Chain A
Amino acid sequence: MQTDWLYIGLFLVVAVIFAGAPLIIAGLLSPRKPNPIKSSTYECGIETVGETWVQFKAQYYIFALTFLIFDVEIVFLFPWAVAFDQLTLFGVLSGVLFVFILFAELLAAWRKGVLEWV
Chain B
Amino acid sequence: MGAMQILFLLAAAAVLGAAILVVTSRNLVHAALWLIVALFGVAVVYVLLNAGFFAIVQVVIYIGAIAILFIFAVMLTRQIGGKDGGSQNHSTWWVAALLSLLLMVGIVWILSTWQGFATELPALANEKELISELGKSLVSTYLLPFELASVLLVAALIGAIYVSWEKSR
A and B bind: yes
Interface residues of chain A, those whose CB is within 8 Å of chain B, are 1-2, 4-5, 9, 53, 55-56, 58, 60-62, 64-69, 71-73, 75-76, 78-84, 86-88, 90-92, 94-95, 97-98, 101-102, 104-105, 108-109, 112-114
Summarize B's interface: helix, strand, loop or mixed.
Answer: helix
Report how many A-B pairs have Cβ atoms within 8 Å: 129
The chain A residue with its CB closest to the CB of B127 is A1
Give chain B interface residues in 140-160, CB to chain A under 8 Å: 140, 143, 146-147, 149-151, 153-154, 156-158, 160
The chain A residue with its CB closest to the CB of B55 is A5
Interface residues on B, range: 35 or more
The interface residues of chain B lying within 8 Å CB-to-CB of A94 are 139, 143, 146-147
Quick check: is B20 within 8 A (CB to CB) of the other chain? no
* Contact of A79 with B53 at beta-carbon distance under 8 Å, contacts A55-B78, A73-B153 already known: yes
The interface residues of chain A lying within 8 Å CB-to-CB of B61 are 71-72, 75
Q: How far is the CA of A92 from the CA of B143 in the complex (A)?
A: 11
Is B135 a contact of A73 with CB atoms below 8 Å?
A: no
Q: How far is the CA of A78 from the CA of B64 in the complex (A)?
A: 17
Selected contact of B157 from candidates A55, A58, A66, A75, CB within 8 Å: A66
Selected contact of A101 from candidates B44, B57, B150, B168, CB within 8 Å: B150
Selected contact of B66 from candidates A68, A78, A101, CB within 8 Å: A68
The interface residues of chain A lying within 8 Å CB-to-CB of B135 are 78-84, 87
Quick check: is B108 within 8 A (CB to CB) of the other chain? no
Summarize A's interface: helix, strand, loop or mixed.
Answer: helix
- When each residue 33-66 of chain B gets 1 if its CB lies under 8 Å from chain A and 0 otherwise, what string results? 0000000000010011010110101001100111
Interface residues of chain B, those whose CB is within 8 Å of chain A, are 44, 47-48, 50, 52-53, 55, 57, 60-61, 64-66, 68-69, 72-73, 75-78, 80-81, 126-128, 131-136, 138-140, 143, 146-147, 149-151, 153-154, 156-158, 160-161, 164-165, 168
Q: How far is the CA of A71 from the CA of B146 in the complex (A)?
A: 15
Is B136 a contact of A91 with CB atoms below 8 Å?
A: yes
Q: How far is the CA of A53 from the CA of B47 in the complex (A)?
A: 38
Is B73 a contact of A55 with CB atoms below 8 Å?
A: no
* Contact of A64 with B146 at beta-carbon distance under 8 Å, contacts A83-B132, A105-B154 already known: no
Selected contact of B160 from candidates A62, A73, A91, CB within 8 Å: A62
